[in-house]
Structure 1
Amino acid sequence: MRYPTRFPSRRGGDTTEFTLRIQQILSILLRHQDFLHEQQIADELAISKRTVQRELDYITTIIAPYQLTLKRKKGAGLLLTGTPQARQRLADDLNASDRSDWSDKKERRRYLLFELLRDRTPKKLYHYSRLLGVSESTAASDLEALGPWLRKNNLSILKKPGFGVILNGTEQNYREAMRRFISETAPVDKLKEITDPHAALAKAVMNVTDNGIYRLLNSRTIQRIDALLGEMNEPKLRQFTDSAYIGLIIHIAISVERMQQGNVPSDEQFLPLEEDGEDLRLARRILQAIEEEFHLHMPELELSYLLLHIKGANIHYTNVPDETVPTDLNGKKLINLIDAMIDAFDSRQAYMLRCDEEFIRGLFVHLQPAIVRLTNHLNIINPLLDDIKEEYADTFQKSIRAARVLEKGIGAAVSEEEIGYLTIHFGAALERMKGKTAFTRKVSVGIVCASGFGVARLMMTRLRNKLSAAVSLKTYGKGDLTPEVIKATDFFVSSLPLNRPDIDAVRISPLITQSDMSRIQCKIEEYAHIRKQVHREEGEKQPDEFVQELAETHKSAEEIAHILKGYAMYTADASLPFDQAVAWLCGQVAESESQSRQLYEDIMKRERLSSQIFPDQGFALLHCRTCAVSHAAFYTCMPSESSFSDPYFQGVGMILLMAMPAAGPTRLYTDLLGFISSSLVIDDSFNEAVLSRSEGLIRSELQRILKLYFNTLLIKLT
């Protein structure tokens, strides 16, 4: 027999799925016209009464479209009730299933794994042979073939004469195998469509996944847990990505049902409980709520399981504060690991990647839970993996090299799913690098994303590069679409359904296929030839767009003049340690002692986030945003010898200092100083001038590249 078997639903269009065991139980109920005890069904099928009871809730759901009900009477048992016609329709569908076979070896073994995970009581080989409709030797061969999959979760199949066949391993390994099995069998294309995990999530999970597989868990249990977490209204849970939130519900459902079945975990150590941190307090609140909802006593180890899942959950990067900067020892170790990963990814692009604060911060935040997952063998769903491998094949291969560095650093294997997420972060940074010199025009496009800072930036930077001067791009969360934003935007592109009749939106894939690009370009062409409607509130005056562009260009000219006028070359004692050299240089360029201290603190804060020493380029690039300056600034400082002697400098012979004001037009400052930074790599003449240690030559080349930058601004006005 084949599993699962699908039949047209009586509601029309949908399908109902029957496992072999469901078919067997329903066939018995159809044969009897009177009440039947659960134990009688169990005896006939040679299974436990508890296994029968686990199927009953699902049976109640799937017979409803047939206008049949399952009546339960205390002391009497079960009775299938409905018209003779309804009973016959169900019987016909069950008979149709009997004509199926298990010719698909992969599907047969998948079902066998399903049975091993759902029922851990010992079973004779004959039981599985009869269940699959194959010989005992074929069943034995199938069990052997499952070995490699099980070994990834430190499980094995134990066979003992007179005892039977059973899974062997710890409770932790068993639960993680269940999570992995559910993740692997969820249809990826359907998981991509889940956009709101906090609205009827349990229903969404049951609709978008293989119902037969998800019956490892009771659907009613999933629904109750989903409702319970929603009522708790925890801010941290709202930060979870879609797959992380779904995974949390599945994790709790597994724990609840294992406890209800009497499978209390042993005293094995899973994750040491930390001091009373916020994650631990959240885990305690959830566990207490679960105990009250299901009338269970959960052992301390369950708290450890739950804490591990919370720590390993991916979060929405848009909810992470910008000031998140690692300051502890673990943070420093992680930053060093990221540095090594960048070198392994592509040494030629390492400089530009290290200059991308957005990339460094995003990767740092992503790796914290990722390392928890990897070191504890937790699985993660990456519904975009196939698309990433196809659309970003070269970046994916480079990310594999970075993943090998990560593996060595943490002593754990990195799965393809995790490498896919690394590819998103590296890919977004590369797209930003490509788009440094892109121009914009008057068509305004808003990018709306469901979750994930890396994915959002990947969409924006790829569009910016592809569309060049065609558009002005801004990213928004679904809740950011205020009337003001809608008025200022021509149309939106989104990876999720917006269902907003008041806006013009184009639905696209997060990875933006060629077909998506064609639709977007057509829409841009449409709006490029339509006069933009100007929305004015009563009494509100809108500035003329050309006048505004002139003002911005004038401000850029002022900042360029300040940079050129303020530029100077300094010579520092080559023996100074790094921090003292920075403090000395800040004292030279700042106008007061208080400004010098502030500039030093901001530079060192940035240095803690990611090293600004680039020995392969021959210089250290110190840059920060600070209230110690009122205009953009650029300075150089060389050592009194050929290079600084402090090992922290790694032998570099030049310090470059760039600072932008903390207040004011941030995008203008970023574009201007970013152009200087990019020129250090892509403009050989400027790079050679900086390394020549000649103040006159550096000043001359700095003037040349800033004139080039200003010319690009003038072109935008024409």
Structure 2
Amino acid sequence: MEIGARMRQIFLVLLNQKEPVSVQEVAEQIGKSKRTVQRELEYAKQSLKGYDLTFHSKTGVGVWLEGSEEEKERLKRELSDADGYDGGDREERRKRLILEILKEKGLKKLFYYSSQFQVSEATIRTDLDVVGKWLEKFDLHVGKKPGSGVVILGEEENYRKALRAFIQENIDTKAVREAYEYDREDALKKSGIGKILNDEIMCRVMECLRGMNHTKVLTLTENSYVGLVIHISIAINRILKGEVIESNAKWQEELSKDEDYRLAEEIVEELEEEFEIQIPDVEISYICLHIKGSKHEKVALEGTEVLDLENREVQQLLNQMIDAFDEKAGYLLKQDDEFLQGLLAHLQPTFVRLKHNMQIQNPVLDDIKKEYPDLFEKCVRVGNVLGEKLNCPVPEEEIGFLTVHFGAALVRLEGQKEQIRRVEIGVVCSSGIGISRLMSSKLEKQFGDRVRISTYGKNDITPYIVSNTDFFITSIPMEKSEIPVIDVSPLLNETDMERIRRMVYQYERMPAKKEEETFSDELTRIHQIAVQIRTVIEHLDIYEEDSAIGFQQLVEQIAKRCSPYQDRQEKIYADIMRREEIATQVYAEFGFALLHNRSEGVVRPTLAVCLPGKCEKTEFTSAERAREAFEETKRANTDFEEMKHGPNDSMKPEDIRFTDPYMKGISAVFVMLVPVDEHLQINNEILGYISTMLIEDYELMETVEQKDEDEIREAITKNLKKYFQKIVTEVSGV
């Protein structure tokens, strides 16, 4: 349990004493009455849960804490670092009261809460009346038993809904994101979420999800991912306490036929193994519902689409929603494919949420209602149409998101009536090849020819680049810039996209920052790009390495193939490994690794494709090591084949994968290295285009998996030709 302010003062007094001390002396040191301290000490043992310390009290001797010096120092440090709390802040106090009630479902006396929040019992009674109204939204009620205390009355299912809603309304998700991306569990333990839930459970849940490497989990938006972690952690925590939701056979049976139900089953299997518990089938259904109601970033998911614009019923619903919004603007909105596709993608998870009464948080709802009251009122009518179709009310949070979609479409319509220009955007990541290219691809799909996007490494930004850019978008910390910088999530969530939309709308109506390039300048640039593309194609390297090779040994082999000189090999190795330490470039969900960086170890843009196979060229330091590696590869490939097809003497090329655990079963490694020279930006764009195609062009990756060198070379050359044609088209304006 969380340690209250008075208990914190008492513990600090005891921790500073070498011998037992009387209750009266403790009372004098903290400025409270002896009776107050005695009543507070009734909860001392409970407050020490999570610490290897014991509270002792003996008549005639005094009170003291017993345990190791290290543990005492840990408690003292955490008590000293604890956040301050102002009991006079009524709103904050009532939030904490809800939290305390939800954390401990059992009976608690009013004095316990008054002591925690340093207010009178009369104040707590008033607070409980207000808190009770909030809980009633979830069919929970505060029961008050004279002489016994306060207890929550209601079903376990409603209890979990209330706890999850409270977390989503009041707790920042940054700590969970950091723990997920960087394994910073300390940040999680100190966060508000960590105080509510068992932080150990949350960390183990995240480890299970991370270890599954399932595309549909890995591509959840940040809020949806955090919601899934919270949902599962609450369920695990309650199951461990013996609190189980009763089964609802009817709606569970419907979900068991859904494509996402199998994924939910896989998640539960991992959790059961991790926590050594039996998880009821009803929890599988709830996890399935959460996944279906979640939003995903740009990745092609398996399975058929639930909604389709060709579906007449869907067309009719969209037409009714648009007519309800604005009949005058309706005709133009119905011709806007970008708007229709975006609205369609939004409605799929919305249907699931509304049908199953699942809540969603909209962090910008108040801003939307304040800044765009007319649009919001129009979308209330849209929500009514949707509610009638699904026979359920549409909450304001959902209407807020609809406002964003309709509002953005109106902005585009207005833009068609004005003189607008192309906006120059710079996307920045650590190298200018990896994450920035994925972000650029999404932005280009969203804005099309309204923007021109250039990708940069963090250290590329020069005064010249700043003078020719309207604003930057970055997922990493940047130094102060002379032009606006939008900090975003690497996956560009909906809030990020809305901020970018506003900035694009603003700048495309402002005068251009620079004169257009002269035709001579454009020809020079095309020539430079053509030369660099030809260099990439001529020196494209496609080869195999032993499928059982370890990651570091693989990087060593890559360095040797990229340069014959040892000093350059060492630089290449160091540059790739340094980039890997920032964040792994092994993308199991896509089936490949993308080892990219700029390096002084190469003298030209380098593109290589490394494939798994039994490679005679691998250099071993001894015959024994060679035999061992060969046998390991043979066993691994045999196991993989038997697992998929049963024993077979021959394997299909696409079935051979890297077997080292760090490689996560990928089927190819792409190496993209850029020399530090005057063509740095051009080379970044060329190789960055290929990295984008690996995600978007499924045929390219399928060709690579077939391991036919000629076909791979032809496919990459074909994509580079498309890139060159795109550049020429931009220059000519055709």
Say which is worse superposed, 144-153 or 533-542, in terms of deviation: 533-542
CA distance in 2, matches of 1:440, 1:91: 58
Deviations 1:275-321 (A, max 9, x none): 44320000000001001111111112211221121121122256469
Q: 2:375 aligns with which of 395, 405, 430?
A: 395
Residue matched to 1:258: 238
CA distance in 2, matches of 1:440, 1:323: 39
| Inter-CA distance 495–171: structure 2 relative to 1 (3 Å threshold) | farther
CA distance in 1, matches of 2:178, 2:47: 34
CA distance in 1, matches of 2:140, 2:424: 55
Deviations 1:553-612 (A, max 9, x none): xxxxxxxxxxxxxxxxxxxxxxxxxxxxxxxxxxxxxxxxxxxxxxxxxxxxxxxxxxxx
Residue matched to 1:215: 195
Residue matched to 1:369: 349
> What is the deviation of 1:175?
0.8
> What is the deviation of 1:378?
2.6
Tell me if structure 2 keeps the 8 A contact 1:445–1:492: yes
Amino acid at match of 1:280: Y
CA distance in 1, matches of 2:157, 2:422: 57
Q: 1:159 aligns with which of 144, 157, 162?
A: 144
> What is the deviation of 1:102?
1.5
Say which is worse superposed, 81-90 or 213-222, in terms of deviation: 81-90
Q: 2:263 aligns with which of 260, 282, 299?
A: 282
Count of matched residue positions in the alignment of Structure 1 and Structure 2: 484
CA distance in 1, matches of 2:407, 2:443: 9
Q: 1:473 aligns with which of 451, 472, 477?
A: 451
Structure 2 counterpart SS, 1:272:
helix
CA distance in 2, matches of 1:201, 1:522: 43
CA distance in 1, matches of 2:370, 2:436: 22
Deviations 1:388-420 (A, max 9, x none): 445544323322221233233334333333222
Residue matched to 1:295: 276
Q: 1:143 aligns with which of 117, 128, 139?
A: 128
| Inter-CA distance 204–525: structure 2 relative to 1 (3 Å threshold) | farther
Amino acid at match of 1:81: E
Tell me if structure 1 keeps the 8 A contact 2:4–2:115: no
CA distance in 1, matches of 2:251, 2:327: 37
Q: 2:111 aligns with which of 106, 126, 131?
A: 126
| Inter-CA distance 514–407: structure 2 relative to 1 (3 Å threshold) | closer
| Inter-CA distance 302–434: structure 2 relative to 1 (3 Å threshold) | same
Amino acid at match of 2:152: L
> What is the deviation of 1:200?
2.8
Tell me if structure 2 keeps the 8 A contact 1:30–1:91: no
> What is the deviation of 1:361?
2.9
Q: 2:94 aligns with which of 109, 116, 127?
A: 109
Residue matched to 1:168: 153
TM-score by length of 2: 0.54
CA distance in 2, matches of 1:134, 1:428: 49
Gaps of 5+ in 1: 5-17, 36-40, 61-69, 465-470, 480-486, 543-715
Tell me if structure 2 keeps the 8 A contact 1:122–1:163: yes
Q: 2:297 aligns with which of 289, 294, 316?
A: 316
Q: 1:206 aligns with which of 188, 199, 207?
A: 188
> What is the deviation of 1:130?
3.2
Residue matched to 2:655: none
> What is the deviation of 1:232?
0.3
CA distance in 2, matches of 1:519, 1:436: 15
Aligned positions of 1:422-461 closer than 5 A: 422-436=402-416, 445=425
CA distance in 2, matches of 1:197, 1:523: 43
CA distance in 2, matches of 1:378, 1:103: 34
Tell me if structure 1 keeps the 8 A contact 2:256–2:285: no
Structure 2 counterpart SS, 1:349:
helix
Tell me if structure 2 keeps the 8 A contact 1:312–1:370: yes
Tell me if structure 2 keeps the 8 A contact 1:239–1:319: no
CA distance in 1, matches of 2:249, 2:38: 36
| Inter-CA distance 362–447: structure 2 relative to 1 (3 Å threshold) | farther
What percent of counterpart residues are identical? 31
| Inter-CA distance 371–452: structure 2 relative to 1 (3 Å threshold) | farther
Tell me if structure 1 keeps the 8 A contact 2:53–2:72: no
Q: 1:405 aligns with which of 371, 376, 385?
A: 385
Aligned positions of 1:449-598 closer than 5 A: 472-473=450-451, 496-497=474-475, 507-508=485-486, 510-512=498-500, 524-526=512-514, 528=516, 531=521, 533-534=525-526, 535-538=528-531
The answer to whether structure 1 residue 182 and structure 2 residue 167 are counterparts is yes
> What is the deviation of 1:119?
0.4
CA distance in 1, matches of 2:531, 2:508: 34
CA distance in 2, matches of 1:419, 1:477: 35
> What is the deviation of 1:261?
2.0
Deviations 1:428-472 (A, max 9, x none): 22223233466776775467999999x9789966xx9xxxxxx85
Structure 2 counterpart SS, 1:511:
helix
CA distance in 2, matches of 1:281, 1:42: 55
Residue matched to 1:9: none
Structure 1 counterpart SS, 2:181:
coil
| Inter-CA distance 518–444: structure 2 relative to 1 (3 Å threshold) | closer
CA distance in 1, matches of 2:155, 2:453: 46
Structure 2 counterpart SS, 1:266:
coil
Structure 2 counterpart SS, 1:103:
coil
Residue matched to 1:380: 360
Structure 1 counterpart SS, 2:142:
strand
> What is the deviation of 1:113?
0.5
Residue matched to 1:653: none
CA distance in 2, matches of 1:353, 1:194: 39
Structure 1 counterpart SS, 2:87:
coil
The answer to whether structure 1 residue 239 and structure 2 residue 219 are counterparts is yes
| Inter-CA distance 394–42: structure 2 relative to 1 (3 Å threshold) | farther
> What is the deviation of 1:265?
2.7
> What is the deviation of 1:497?
2.0
CA distance in 1, matches of 2:158, 2:199: 23
CA distance in 1, matches of 2:386, 2:205: 35
CA distance in 1, matches of 2:261, 2:452: 37
Amino acid at match of 1:250: I
Structure 1 counterpart SS, 2:340:
helix
CA distance in 1, matches of 2:417, 2:225: 39
Gaps of 5+ in 2: 21-36, 56-63, 429-434, 458-464, 487-495, 536-731
Structure 1 counterpart SS, 2:244:
coil
Tell me if structure 2 keeps the 8 A contact 1:34–1:79: no
> What is the deviation of 1:170?
1.4
Amino acid at match of 2:181: A
Residue matched to 2:395: 415
CA distance in 1, matches of 2:186, 2:454: 25
Residue matched to 1:683: none
TM-score by length of 1: 0.55
CA distance in 1, matches of 2:531, 2:40: 80
CA distance in 2, matches of 1:436, 1:313: 33
CA distance in 1, matches of 2:86, 2:378: 44
> What is the deviation of 1:213?
5.0
CA distance in 2, matches of 1:280, 1:363: 25
Tell me if structure 1 keeps the 8 A contact 2:424–2:469: yes
